[in-house]
Amino acid sequence: MDPNRYSVRTDLALEAREIAAQSYGEEIPGVQSEHVEDNGITITRMDITTEEGARVIGKQIGHYVTIEVPGLRRKDSELQVRVATRFAQEFEQFLEKLGIPKDAKVLIIGLGNWNVTPDALGPLVVENVMVTRHFFELMPDQVSPGYRQVSALAPGVLGITGIETSDIVQSIVEKSKPDFVIAVDALASKSLDRVNTTIQIADSGIHPGSGIGNK
C-alpha cells in the first residue's frame, strides 16, 4: 500500500500548519504562532488572521491553542493534575480574549456517540460537568459567588436520534438563550503520538458529522 496516494485529514490546526509549512515555509502570511514549554507541557498559541492564511492552512480564521503532553500516556496522576490546572488557566485566558465575562451563561454540548469509545469524549465530559442553571432559576439567593449559569447536554448522533445534531443544538440555544456555547468533541490527528495526549481550544466553530463526510 502506498500511503502517498491518500490525503491526510486532521482536525488540529497545529498539524495543518505543519503540513502547509512543507510547501510554504515556516512564515505563512496571516498566521502567527508562539510556543511555550512548561515542564513536560507544550502550549502552542496560533492566530489565523487573514483569508489567505485560512486558505493555506485549511482552517477557519480564529484563535487556536494546542496543549501537548506526551507524558499523559504514563498515567501520571501528578502530571494529570498539572495539565488540568494549566488547561483551566489557558481556557480562562481564551474566554477573556474573546471578551466573555465571568458571569456569562454557558451551554456545554458534548458531541459524539457514547456507544463508541473513540467518539465518546463529549458525552463523558458532560457526565462530569457541574450544571448550575437550575439553581440560578430556582434558588438564586443560595448560589455562592463565583459560579456562572451552566447547562449541559449530550445530544447524541444522527444514527441514534434520527435528527441532525446541529438542529438539536440550535433548537436548545433558541429556547434556553445561553451567552455562549462550548462544544466538546474528539478530534482527528495525523500523528499517533498526539492521540490521547493533545487538547485543542478554538473559537472557529465545529461541524458535527464532518469526520464521516456528513453535511
High-pLDDT (> 70) share of the chain, %: 93
pLDDT on residue 88: 96
Average pLDDT of the segment spanning 33-45: 94
Q: What is the pLDDT of residue 155?
A: 95
Please state, rounded to an integer, the average pLDDT across all residues of the chain. Answer: 92
Q: Is the pLDDT of residue 114 over 90?
A: yes
Segment 136-145, tens digit of pLDDT: 999 999 999 9
Query: Is the Cβ–Cβ distance between 211 and 188 less than 8 Å?
Result: yes
* pLDDT (average), residues 2-20: 80
Cell of 19: 503540513
6-15, 71-80, 178-187, 197-206 — which is least confidently predicted?
6-15
Confidence band, pLDDT 50/70/90 cuts, at residue 147:
very high
pLDDT at 133: 97
pLDDT in tens, 149-188: 999 999 999 889 999 999 999 999 999 999 999 999 999 9
pLDDT at 24: 82
Longest CA–CA span in the chain (Å) reads 65
pLDDT band at 11 (very low <50, low <70, confident <90, very high): very high
Closest CA to 185 of 107, 94, 112: 112
> With 70 as the cut, is the pLDDT of residue 3 above it?
no
Order across the sheet with 150-153: list the strands.
150-153, 106-110, 180-184
- 58-104 pLDDT per residue, tens: 999 999 999 999 999 998 999 999 999 999 999 999 999 999 999 99
Per-residue model confidence (pLDDT) at position 25: 80
C-beta of residue 165 within 8 angstroms of C-beta of residue 156? yes
User: What is the side-by-side order of every strand in the sheet holding 31-38?
Assistant: 31-38, 41-48, 62-68, 198-202
The 10 Å Cβ neighbour count of residue 95 is: 17
